[in-house]
Copies of this chain bind each other. A is one copy, B any other.
Amino acid sequence: MLQSPVDSLRLTLTLDSARRASIVLASTPTLQKNRALTAIADSLRRNTADILAANRDDLTAGAANGLSAGLLDRLTLDDARVAALADAVLQIALLTDPVGEVVRGSSLPNGVKISQVRVPFGVVGVIYEARPNVTVDIAALALKSGNAVVLRGGSAAENTNRVLVALLQTAIESVGLPGDIVQTIDPFGREGATELMQARGQVDVLIPRGSAGLINAVVTQSTVPVIETGAGVVHIFLDESANRDWAVEIVHNSKVQRPSVCNAVETLLVHEGAADRVLPAVLARLAASGVTIHGDSRVQALFPDAVPASEFDWETEYMSLDLAVTVVAGLDEALAHIRRYSTGHTESIITNDIVNSERFLNEVDSAAVMVNASTRFTDGGEFGFGAEVGISTQKLHARGPMGLPELTSTKWIVRGTGQVRA
C-alpha cells in the first residue's frame, strides 16, 4: 500500500474521477466516441516527434538499467510504429460499438418486458510492462466500449506513457469528453499497482498483460475481478494418421512464424506409430529455420541434433526458436501430457482420424482446440474481431481472443405497467 497518506488520497481521487468519467462515457453516443478516436489518431501523428523524444529517454534509461534486447525492442517506438498505432485507433473507430446491443429478451406471461443489454464495465484497470503500444491500444478499445481506464504501465516506459496519456487526454477533451477517461497511476509506483489491485468497487475489472510472473501476482493479490490473459504452453499432437505435409507446414508455421507470442507452439507430441514416417521431415524443416529441438531419447535417436529434454522443457513457454518434442504411445498419453502441462491456451491435433479428432476436440480443456490448423490462428484479428484486447486463458467471462464485447458487462432492463409478483 501507499506509504504516504497524500499519495493514497491522490490515488483515491484518481479512481473517483475515473468513475465520474465512466458515467459520462457510458451515455456517450457511438458517433462522439468515434470522433474522440479520430482525434487521438490525428494527435499521435502530429505529435510523433514528442513521443519519440520521450521514448528515447526511456530507451536510454533501459539500456543503462540492462534491459534485455527483447524488452528494449518492445519498448521502442519509431515513426512507422507510431503511424501503425494511429491506424489501429482508426480501425477501432470502424468497429461495431458493443454498448447497447440487446443480447436476448422476452415478454413475460404477465406482460413485463425484459431485455439483457450490453453495458460498459465502468472502470477498467490495466497493469502491463514496458509496452507503450498497449497504452494506446487499450485506451482506444476501452473508450470504444465505453469504459474509463486506469493504466499502470511500469517504470521502463514511464516517459513515453506520460506523453501518450497526456496526448490521449487532450484529444478526448477536444471533442468535449472528460480527459479522465484515460489516466495513469505510474507516478504512484509499485505501491500504486498494489493499491489498484485492492480497489474493489472502485475498479470493476483488472486486466494484467505481460509476463507470467506479473499475471500471477495480479491473480493472487487482486480482490478486484481479474481477466487473466495468460501464458501459452501450446501443444501440437501428430497422430498416427497425420498427413506429413500438413504436419511439416503446420508445426513450422506454429513455431517459426512468430516465436515470441503466446499462440506459438512450445511442445510437439508425436504418436510412436508416426515418428519414423513424419518426424524427420518435421524436424528438418524446423532446424533449417534455426529451431533448437529439445527431445527425449527416442527423438534424439531419430534426430541426433536434438538436445536432451527434461521436466523443465515440458513446463516452459520458450517464446523463442526452441521446441520440446516427445514420442507418446498414442492419443491417451498425448491427452494426459496436455492435461498435465498445458496452460489452457491452444492445442492442435494433426490427424486424418475422425474418432481421434473428435476425442481431442472434446477432451482437451483449452481456450482453443484445433484439428489440422496452425496454433497461430488463436488471435482476435484472425478470428475476425478486428481488434484484440488479449487472449483469456481463464474460464470465467471470456475465453480465448477477446474483442470489444468482452470489455462489456450486461444489465437487465425490465419495463412494466404496474405489474407485481403473484
Binding site for B on A (CB under 8 A): 23, 26-27, 106, 108, 112, 114, 116, 119, 121-122, 200, 204-205, 219-220, 223, 225-227, 243, 245-246, 249-250, 252-254, 257, 348, 361-363, 365-374, 376-378, 382-384, 394-397, 399-401, 409-421
Contact = CB atoms under 8 A, between A and B. Distances in A.
B219 A122 contact: no
12 contacts: A108-B377, A205-B396, A219-B223, A225-B225, A227-B396, A243-B418, A246-B417, A368-B412, A383-B412, A396-B397, A399-B409, A400-B411
Contacts of A112: 373, 377
B411 A366 contact: yes
A324 to B, nearest CB: 20
Between A26, A367, A369, A401, the greatest number of chain B beta carbons within 10 A of the residue's beta carbon is seen for A369
B219 A367 contact: no
Contact of A106 (B384, B413, B418): B384
Contacts of A414: 348, 368-371, 373, 377-378
A376 B420 contact: yes
Nearest to A395: B409
Given A369-B412, A372-B417, 13 more contacts: A26-B362, A108-B377, A108-B382, A204-B395, A245-B418, A246-B417, A250-B418, A257-B420, A348-B414, A370-B414, A371-B416, A376-B420, A400-B411
Per assembly, the copies of the chain total 2
A232 to B, nearest CB: 14
Contacts of A253: 420-421
A383 B114 contact: yes
Contacts of A361: 413
B412 A367 contact: yes
Between A227, A410, A418, the greatest number of chain B beta carbons within 10 A of the residue's beta carbon is seen for A418
Contact of A249 (B220, B226, B249, B418): B418
Contacts of A410: 399-400
Contacts of A382: 108, 421
Between A249, A366, A420, the greatest number of chain B beta carbons within 10 A of the residue's beta carbon is seen for A420
Contacts of A394: 225
Contacts of A409: 395-396, 399
Contacts of A257: 420-421
Contacts of A421: 253, 257, 374, 376-377, 382
A384 B104 CA distance: 12
B23 A363 contact: yes
B418 A246 contact: yes
A348 B420 CA distance: 12
B411 A373 contact: no
B397 A397 contact: yes
Nearest to A373: B416
A116 B200 CA distance: 31
Nearest to A408: B395
Contacts of A401: 412
A411 B121 contact: no
A417 B371 CA distance: 8
A415 B373 contact: yes
B377 A225 contact: no
A395 B225 contact: yes
A369 B413 contact: yes
Nearest to A361: B413
Contacts of A369: 411-414
Contact of A395 (B122, B254, B365): B122
Contacts of A245: 418
B400 A412 contact: yes
Contacts of A205: 395-396
A369 B112 CA distance: 13
Nearest to A397: B397
A102 to B, nearest CB: 13
